[in-house]
């Protein structure tokens, strides 16, 4: 787990909001901003999820969306719908967390993860890396898999 406020580099376009999030702080952006993190993952395959606080998007009816780029690659947009009254939304509010999972697993090794925020309603809390079960045919394939939520033993990150 890497807390959002541990982003590397200058705080351009974003700020830490103390008292929010599951560990006492979250990140908000008044204008489009990109936050970067370096992580070294232990052996295995890993599901990356960006954890957000459940909020209302700036545009009514829009999804809560961020972009994720790995190792300088093309950003992938990941989103979650905000539907009042929806069971998944209600559980996210009770848990104070929405998970936006990257569709492609990450391999072991050092990675740079960049999170792009372009909606000021987004409150970004953390990056979570969940171990995925080994797969005989997909061990080297970037196919999407569901999160095993197994924790992050051996995870390290640098500034």
Dump pLDDT digits (tens) for 51-108: 999 988 888 888 989 999 999 999 999 998 887 778 888 888 888 888 889 888 999 9
84 falls within a domain: yes
Q: Would you state the pLDDT for residue 89? A: 84
Tell me the C-alpha distance between 82 and 64, whole Å.
Answer: 7
155 falls within a domain: no
72 falls within a domain: yes
Per-chain mean pLDDT for the chain? 84
Q: Would you state the pLDDT for residue 82? A: 80
Please state the rounded mean pLDDT for residues 4-16. 92
Q: CA geometry: angle at 105 spanning 71 and 133, to 5°?
A: 145
Domain of 66: which CATH number?
Answer: 2.60.120.1620
Residue 159 contacts by C-beta under 8 Å, 6 or more apart in sequence?
A: 6, 8, 38
Question: Per-residue pLDDT for 126 more than 60?
Answer: yes
159 falls within a domain: no
CB 95 within 8 A of CB 113: no
The domain tally of the chain equals 1
78 falls within a domain: yes
Range of the domain at 67: 2-132
């Amino acid at each position: 787990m890497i807390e959002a406020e541990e982003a590397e580099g200058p705080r351009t376009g974003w700020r830490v909001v103390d008292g929010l999030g599951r560990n006492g702080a979250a990140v908000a952006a008044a204008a489009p901003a990109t936050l970067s993190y370096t992580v070294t993952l232990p052996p295995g395959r890993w599901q990356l999820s960006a954890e957000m606080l459940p909020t209302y998007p700036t545009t009514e009816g829009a999804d809560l969306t961020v972009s994720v780029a790995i190792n300088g690659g093309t950003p992938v947009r990941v989103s979650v719908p905000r539907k009042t009254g929806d069971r998944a939304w209600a559980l996210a509010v009770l848990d104070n967390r929405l998970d936006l999972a990257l569709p492609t697993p990450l391999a072991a090794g050092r990675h740079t993860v960049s999170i792009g925020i372009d909606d000021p309603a987004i409150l970004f809390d953390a990056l979570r890396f969940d171990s995925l079960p080994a797969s005989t045919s997909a061990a080297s394939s970037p196919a999407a898999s569901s999160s095993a939520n197994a924790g992050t033993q051996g995870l390290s990150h640098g500034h």
